[in-house]
């Protein structure tokens, strides 16, 4: 039996970022489920518990993680029957050890944006409008995605996550949108992963969901057997 595709959006966003690609996968005959973070995130534990609960329990899965959701893949591999992994413009954890949820440069930026209560603005308010607007194909899509955003505490990004050894021994692939994750792409190649680049911006699955879905299926090809 072919595994289900479990699409994981960043905890900063919501299921809408993956729903168009999920529909495309289902139209192609694949089982696809979007597993989102809870509506109120305070700690990484909140996210991990929600993702674990959302994953199918009656079938094998291919984890398809976008952006910050990549940080949770190693732990999820130990909690469910995972056939393979496709990281999509995502954080790529080391093979073992400890993952800092935000690198030092990003933490500096976030500390400057946190309010007096230690809360961050929603993700699309982290950046300049000229950088945010091109991420979306139209105003309606942007409104839908922004409605699902939530404000996270700065302390969330100061956490670390334990990475169990051996999580990346399974079949794995990396799909990059443009050159935003060049270090991760290089790391994936060093590990012998299948790697492909689809020109676009960070939310390209909203712009061209059919092509993104096709790339995911192609990268996960032999994981289905």
Q: What is the CATH number of the domain that holds 72?
A: 3.40.50.1820
Percentage above 70 pLDDT, the chain: 98
Query: Could you give the C-alpha distances from 205 to 34, 92, 104, 128, in angstroms and in order?
Result: 13, 19, 28, 21
Cβ-contact 164, 78 below 8 angstroms: yes
Give the range of the structural domain holding residue 200, as residue numbers without chain letter: 4-224
- State the DSSP code for 122: P
For the chain, what is the domain count? 1
pLDDT at 222: 64
225 falls in which pLDDT band (50, 70, 90)? very low
Percentage above 90 pLDDT, the chain: 90
pTM, full prediction: 0.95
Q: Please, what is the Cα angle at 82 between 77 and 88, to 5 degrees?
A: 80
Residue 13 pLDDT > 80: yes
């Amino acid at each position: 039996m072919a595994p289900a595709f479990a699409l994981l959006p960043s905890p900063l966003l919501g299921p809408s970022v993956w729903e168009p690609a999920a529909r495309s996968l289902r139209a192609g005959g694949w089982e696809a489920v979007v597993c989102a973070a809870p509506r109120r995130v305070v700690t990484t534990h909140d996210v991990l518990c929600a993702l674990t609960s959302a994953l199918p329990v009656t079938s094998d899965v291919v984890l398809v993680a976008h952006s910050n959701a990549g940080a949770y893949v190693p732990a999820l591999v130990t909690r469910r029957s995972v056939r393979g992994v496709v990281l999509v413009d995502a954080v790529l954890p080391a093979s073992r050890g400890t993952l800092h949820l935000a690198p030092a440069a990003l933490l500096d930026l976030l500390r400057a944006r946190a309010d007096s209560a230690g809360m961050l603005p929603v993700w699309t308010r982290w950046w300049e409008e000229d950088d945010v607007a091109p991420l979306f194909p139209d105003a309606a899509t942007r409104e839908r995605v922004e409605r699902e955003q939530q404000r996270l505490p700065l302390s969330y990004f100061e956490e670390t996550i334990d990475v169990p050894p051996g999580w990346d021994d399974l079949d794995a692939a990396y799909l990059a949108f443009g050159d935003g994750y060049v270090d991760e792409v290089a790391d994936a190649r060093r590990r012998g992963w299948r790697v492909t680049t689809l020109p676009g911006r960070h939310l390209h699955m909203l712009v061209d969901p059919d092509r993104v879905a096709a790339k995911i299926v192609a990268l996960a090809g032999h994981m289905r057997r």
